[in-house]
A = this chain, B = another copy of it.
Amino acid sequence: MPSVNASRKGQEKPREIVDAAEDYAKERYGISSIIQSQEKPDRILVRVRDLTVQNADNVVWVRARVHTSRAKGKQCFLVLRQQQFNVQALVAVGDHASKQMVKFAANINKESIVDVEGIVRKVNQKIGSCTQQDVELHVQKIYVISLAEPRLPLQLDDAIRPEVEEEGRATVNQDTRLDNRVIDLRTSTSQAIFLLQSGICHLFRETLINKGFVEIQTPKIISAASEGGANVFTVSYFKNNAYLAQSPQLYKQMCICADFEKVFCIGPVFRAEDSNTHRHLTEFVGLDIEMAFNYHYHEVVEEIANTLVQIFKGLQERYQTEIQTVNKQFPCEPFKFLEPTLRLEYCEALAMLREAGVEMGDEEDLSTPNEKLLGRLVKEKYDTDFYVLDKYPLAVRPFYTMPDPRNPKQSNSYDMFMRGEEILSGAQRIHDPQLLTERALHHGIDLEKIKAYIDSFRFGAPPHAGGGIGLERVTMLFLGLHNVRQTSMFPRDPKRLTP
Contact = CB atoms under 8 A, between A and B. Distances in A.
Given A11-B435, A295-B37, A435-B11, A462 B146 contact: yes
A189 B494 CA distance: 44
Interface in A1-56: 7-8, 11, 34-41, 43, 45
A194 B182 contact: no
B195 A214 contact: yes
Interface stretch (A91-99, A259-267, A360-368, A380-388): A259-267
Interface in A462-499: 462-463, 471, 488-490, 492, 494, 497-499
**Secondary structure call for the A interface:** loop
A201 interface: yes
Interface stretch (A129-137, A229-237, A348-356, A417-425): A229-237
A145 B37 contact: no
Interface stretch (A69-77, A120-128, A219-227, A334-342): A219-227
A282 interface: yes
A64 to B, nearest CB: 10
B216 A460 contact: no
Interface centre among A238, A244, A499 (most CB of B within 10 A): A499
Contacts of A260: 83, 185, 191, 194
Contacts of A209: 202
Contacts of A216: 194, 198, 489
A149 B457 CA distance: 10
Given A148-B459, A258-B185, A458-B149, A295 B219 contact: no
Interface string A251-295: 100110111110000111010101000000011010000000011
A488 B260 CA distance: 15
A225 to B, nearest CB: 13
Contacts of A184: 258
A392 interface: no
Interface residues of A, number: 112
Nearest to A456: B182
Contacts of A118: none
A426 interface: no
Contacts of A83: 259-261
A89 interface: no
A238 B251 CA distance: 26
9 contacts: A8-B434, A37-B404, A182-B254, A182-B258, A185-B259, A219-B268, A221-B282, A237-B497, A268-B268
Interface of A: 7-8, 11, 34-41, 43, 45, 63, 65, 82-83, 111-113, 145-149, 152, 181-186, 190-191, 194-195, 197-198, 201-202, 205, 209, 214-223, 233-238, 240, 242, 244, 251, 254-255, 257-261, 266-268, 270, 272, 274, 282-283, 285, 294-298, 402-406, 412, 428, 431-432, 434-435, 452, 456-463, 471, 488-490, 492, 494, 497-499
